[in-house]
Chains A and B, each alone.
Chain A
Amino acid sequence: MQILNDSDRELVRERFQNELVNEVKLTLFTQNDLGGLVIPGRECETCAPTEQLLKEVSETSDLIHFKRLDIKNDAEEATRCGISRIPSFLVSRAEETNIRYLGIPAGTEFPVLMEALVNVSSGESKLAEETKTFLETLTDEILIKTFVTPN
Chain B
Amino acid sequence: MAHAMAAFTEKVVAEVIEVQEFPDIGNSYQVKGVPLTVINEKYSFTGAANEQMLLEHLKNALSELPEGEY
Instruction: Give residues in A with beta carbon < 8 Å to B.
Output: 46, 82, 85, 91, 96-105, 109, 112, 115-116, 119-120, 125-128, 130-132, 134-136, 138-150
Contact = CB atoms under 8 A, between A and B. Distances in A.
B41 A143 contact: yes
Contacts of A131: 5, 51, 55
Nearest to B39: A144
A23 B13 CA distance: 20
Interface of B: 2-22, 25-26, 29, 31, 34-41, 51-52, 55, 58-59, 61-62, 70
B37 A146 contact: yes
Contacts of A142: 11-13, 39-40, 58, 61-62
For the complex, would chain A's binding face be called helix, strand, loop or mixed by DSSP majority? mixed
Per DSSP, are chain B's interface residues mostly helix, strand or loop, or mixed? mixed
A143 B22 contact: no
Given A98-B6, A103-B22, A147 B31 contact: yes
Contact of A135 (B5, B26, B29, B31): B5
Given A82-B13, A103-B21, A149-B34, 19 more contacts: A98-B10, A101-B18, A102-B15, A103-B17, A125-B4, A128-B51, A134-B55, A138-B12, A143-B39, A144-B2, A144-B13, A144-B39, A145-B15, A145-B16, A147-B31, A147-B35, A147-B38, A148-B35, A149-B18
B64 to A, nearest CB: 13
A134 B58 CA distance: 10
